[in-house]
Amino acid sequence: MTTLNRFYIGGEWVEPSPGATFFDIVDPASEERTGKLAMGTGQDADRAIAAARQAFASWSESSREERIALLERIAEIYQRRMPEIAEAVRKEMGAPVFLCNALQAPIGLMQLQASIETLRHFEFETTHAKSYVRREAIGVAALVTPWNWPMNQIVAKVAPALAAGCTVVLKPSEITPLDAMIFAEIMHEAGTPAGVFNLVFGEGRVVGARLSSHPDVDMVSITGSTRAGVEVAISAAPTVKRVTQELGGKSALLILDDADLKAAVASGVAQCMANSGQTCVAPTRMLVQRSRYEEALAIAAAAANAVTVGDPADPATRMGPISNRGQYEKVQHMIAVGIEEGARVVAGGPGRPDGLTRGFYARPTIFADVRNDMTIAREEIFGPVLVMIPYDDEEEAIRIANDSIYGLAGYIASGDPERARKVAARLRVGSVRINGAMLDITVPFGGYKTSGNGREYGAEGLAEFLECKSVTTM
């Protein structure tokens, strides 16, 4: 039984303030309690903010070379501890071991390396005739991260914040605390100056609310649901602090009539089901020309039925459980809603896969005969559920894709690169991937509409942690 009862504040491991409660750490593959986590109070948040505020003056004046050196030390230690990180993610959220080793753990190192390269070339000062513009660290940044890609989201915020000269208070998800504790240990071992990095666990309505409302916090960066993002923005409004949000999505894959249908459908199903469907940018709406719709359904059903669901410790498993009971119940509810709305199940459906009697396992599910006004086409399910929608022509496909409150990502399959680029330009989303392209963490990432504000990754992501000052001379 693991007990996590320390926070990292001011360069030291400290006990929670009086009044802390404990949260059960649960293995989603077995539903068994494997540990407990101390949950902080507003007082713990205050302590972390004070430490970050005290450290800001010196860290914000550090040189580019000093920041690069620190990030390189962090990356070196991170690489050494990557097997531990992969194992932690597997245990706490049920990601399959192959995915933990191939991406869940390595992507944190990739984010560090990308931030280092961005920092090497970033222009903090530019000249404009007799004026110049300085970009200066915004101050203390509160970072709120989710459980689905836990290490990616931690490093994608911490690394550029430190590169910008900010000090940070990190509130990771209580569902995935194990990898966050390892990351704090890495920061300590790397010699991060006291107060530059602080870690406090706690509920969003307690610690998160205190971080977002505190007058000594200059910025909040949150990745989570649209509901959580709205709550943070409301809480932050009285102090007029910057809020960047990477929130929900209901991304569409447009399979155009000149695409390789079999390859496009199979790729789309794989991207939707990866990480048990718990990815904000997953292409969860597949748009297919009506004349080939039934053919596409058969391909999709076969692909979904071929996904190996099971114990995440088994190297053969390709899809593990949903990460927690609450999310599992939501997925099951949404599958039931889809059936009630009249959609046709062509793969999967309610309940666990055959042979699995324990664990938060869901069946890879494909819905046919879906209209874009159905609940399962409108709301983010955040599970292994794909809805397939027919269209008559390209104009209708674009209209359906854009007919969403979300605008995080879009996907296009086409045999004509120029046609794909023209369609991409018309999608109201923050990023577009063509013909199965993978995520590129060197270019900005974020959404339109209720998918959020601001950007992560690359120079644009670093710039979110900076204020802009213009200086004019005679």
Per-residue pLDDT reduced to its tens digit, 79-95: 999 999 999 999 999 99
CB 308 within 8 A of CB 318: yes
By DSSP bridging, strand 32-39 and strand 21-27 are antiparallel
| Cα-based distances in Å from 85 to 78, 81, 183 | 9, 6, 8
Cα gap 212→141, rounded to integer Å:
10
Residue 446 lies in a domain: no
Question: What dihedral do alpha carbons 404, 410, 416, 421 form, nearest 10°?
Answer: 90
Task: Give the torsion sign (CA, 332, 337, 339, 343).
Answer: negative
Q: Which of 100, 166, 272, 280 is catalytic?
A: 280
pLDDT reported for residue 474: 86
For the stretch 230-256, pLDDT in tens is: 999 999 999 999 999 999 999 999 999
Cα separation, 305 vs 273, in Å, equals 11
SS3 content of the chain, % helix, strand, coil (to 5): 45, 25, 35
398-427 confidence digits (pLDDT tens)? 999 999 999 999 999 999 999 999 999 999
Give the model's confidence band at 265: pLDDT under 50 very low, under 70 low, under 90 confident, else very high.
very high
Position 308 confidence tier, pLDDT thresholds 50, 70, 90 = very high
Q: Are residues 31 and 180 in the same domain?
A: yes
Residue whose C-alpha is closest to residue 114's, from 466, 464, 463, 459: 459
pTM: 0.97
Kindly state whether residues 222 and 283 are assigned to the same domain: no
Q: Count of domains in the chain?
A: 2
The residue count for the chain? 474
The string of DSSP letters for 211-248 reads HHH-TT--EEEEES-HHHHHHHHHHHGGGT-EEEEE--
Which 8-state DSSP code applies to residue 266?
A: H
Stretch (H or E) spanning 104 = none
How, if at all, do strands 365-368 and 344-347 pair? antiparallel
SS3 74: helix
CATH number of the domain that 7 lies in?
Answer: 3.40.605.10
Does 138 share its domain with 267?
no
pLDDT beyond 90 at 1: no
Told to judge if 231 belongs to the known catalytic residues of this protein, a careful annotator would answer: no
* Mean pLDDT along residues 324-333: 98
Whether residue 96 sits in one domain with residue 177: yes
| Residues 112 and 181 reside in one and the same domain | yes
The whole-angstrom distance between residue 239's C-alpha and the CA centroid of its chain comes to 26
Q: Is residue 198 domain-resident?
A: yes
Q: Judge whether 128 lies within some domain.
A: yes
Model pLDDT, residue 73:
98
- Token look-up 């406090």 returns 200
pLDDT in tens, 335-371: 999 999 999 999 999 999 999 999 999 999 999 999 9
Query: Which of 87, 231, 246, 380 is an active site residue?
Result: 246
* Neighbour count for residue 339 (Cβ, 10 Å): 15
Tell me what pLDDT residue 317 has: 98
Mean pLDDT (the chain) is 98
Please, which residues bridge with residue 344 across strands?
368
Backbone dihedral region for residue 164 (phi beyond 0: left; psi -120 to 50: alpha; all else: beta):
alpha
Instruction: Say if CB 296 and CB 255 are below 8 A apart.
Output: yes
Q: How many helices, marked H, and strands, marked E, lie in the chain? A: 16, 23
- How do residues 426-438 score in pLDDT, each as one tens digit? 999 999 999 999 9
Instruction: Residue 143: name the closest of 284, 18, 49 by CA.
Output: 49
Query: Residue 139 phi/psi, 5° resolution?
Result: 135, -135
| pLDDT score for 464 | 98
**What was the pLDDT predicted at 422?**
98
Residue 376 lies in a domain: yes
Nearest to 300 by CA among 227, 367, 238, 391: 367
CATH number for the domain spanning 373: value is 3.40.309.10
| Residue 272, CA distances (Å) to 13, 146, 250, 277, 330 in order | 39, 19, 11, 6, 17
Whether residue 269 lies inside any domain: the answer is yes
391 secondary structure, DSSP code: E
**Per-residue pLDDT at 19 exceeds 90:** no
In angstroms, the CA 463 to CA 135 distance is: 8
Mean pLDDT, residues 10-17: 97
- Point out which residues pair with 407 in neighbouring strands: 448
Q: Which two tokens stand for residue 9?
A: 């504040």
- Do 184 and 258 lie in a common domain? no
Examine the domain organization and report whether 302 and 421 are in the same domain: yes
Q: Rounded to an integer, what distance in angstroms lies between the CA atom of residue 298 and that of residue 293? A: 9
Q: Do 106 and 64 fall into the same domain?
A: yes
Please indicate, yes or no, if residue 359 is contained in any of the structural domains: yes
**Calpha distance 156→349 (Å, rounded):** 35
Q: 176 with 282, same domain?
A: no
Q: Could you tell me if 148 and 219 lie in one domain? A: yes
Pairing mode of beta strands 140-144, 167-171: parallel
Supply the range of the domain harboring residue 44: 2-247+451-472
The Cα 224–Cα 214 span in angstroms is 20
Whether 223 and 89 map to the same domain: the answer is yes
pLDDT at site 29 = 98
The CA-CA-CA angle for residues 75, 77, 80, to 5°, reads 110
Q: In this predicted structure, what is the pLDDT of residue 302?
A: 98
Q: Give the closest residue to 403 by CA, choosing from 375, 428, 369.
A: 428
CA distance 341 to 177: 38
d(CA 381, CA 330): 7
Active site residue 92: no
Closest CA to 219 of 202, 238, 240: 240
**Are both 360 and 233 inside the same structural domain?**
no
